[in-house]
Structure 1
Amino acid sequence: RAPGLSVPITCGHPTVGTGTGADLVSPVRAEEELAVTILQRAWWRHIDRRLFRLLTHTIRAAEHCITYEIVRRVSPLEAELIKDPSMQYKVRFRFAGHEFPPFIVFKIFHHTGGQGSKYISGRRTISPASEAAVDACKLMGHRKYYDQMIWEELQYQTHKIIDEIDVATVKDYMQVRNVFKYFLTGFGNEKKTSFGKKD
């Protein structure tokens, strides 16, 4: 939006003066200025919505043609994963954030050969005592890797059941499902290994 943009109103109504020299705006002029403000806000909301709709259509179209280039700019390490020609994948881009303009997040889905698509999650795929965990530590860096481990431990202390391994009853399953939904819908996007955020 252009800062300070306003529509000038010329009004033939005189302002009413007081004894101290301060000018007061007539009620008609005040109503006109209020109407202009309302119209300006409505117009900018309309423009923002149209722009967001256009951006959404653009990023959905990009899922079909320039996926690798976008993922490479958002998260270069994960772009190497989808560069593998043997991997059958689909990347879904979305916008996130509480302010405009939004930032790009994405999920990588693996085609499982007629059984639908499965979301690739490093947390579910890599067991802690494996070589993959050591490689993840090397790729992420010790600081980032330890921050992730501490964050997961804090979540475990808060929610108690945060992984499929912890599930013993239907109630446990519903709780872990709600925890996953909570973190995937905005709060924990930057913590997941298959999400990227543009810096």
Structure 2
Amino acid sequence: MSRDPDRPAPTGDYEGYDPIGGVGVGRKTAYALAVLGLDVVQRSTIRALLPVGTQQVGASRGQQAQRMKGKTGLVKKNRTSKLFQQKLNQFEDWGWISKGHILIALHDRGALLDHALQGQRRLPSRLLDLERAIAKIREDQATAEPDDRLIEQRHKELLALMSLMQVPVTGVNRSGTRSVRFVNRSRVI
């Protein structure tokens, strides 16, 4: 399914370059949605693949003084979560996804991957936090009720994440015991 022509098209100026980490939240979100290979994915799984972020207390000095007196609570803001939500809204506006409260349905995986890789020479080796996402899914599975409707979804996501962790087969010959020779496809007749 391609992008809806009535919606605004993405511009050539891609945000998402983070000078510290190299790739920003928007690109990581698009990449995570595209590489899992699932038509439907949980929002919490995609968020777990992104950096944790830092909690910032968003309040004026007067509100902070009232908080110290116990009269009101402070709003905690996580910049990564805020950017994640903004990017999901943007991708939905462009027609690439449909987001719900718990699940995200993918419509144009190719456009998401193109957006993530636009202008990148190469991706960092640790782009997504796969271990944290797997831990989050296993934690959800452990606390789930037997009649939970997301059991099968979590299982699919766990398999997709595990397949991303596997090393791809190369054409390199190894020597020594237990070595296996993989022949490149270009050499097979």
Coarse TM-score class (shorter-chain normalised): under 0.3
Greater CA radius of gyration, 1 or 2? 1
The structure whose RCO (Cα within 8 Å, separation 6+) is larger is 2
Give the TM-score normalised by structure 1. 0.24
Which one has a larger percent helix, Structure 1 or Structure 2? 1
Give the TM-score normalised by structure 2. 0.24
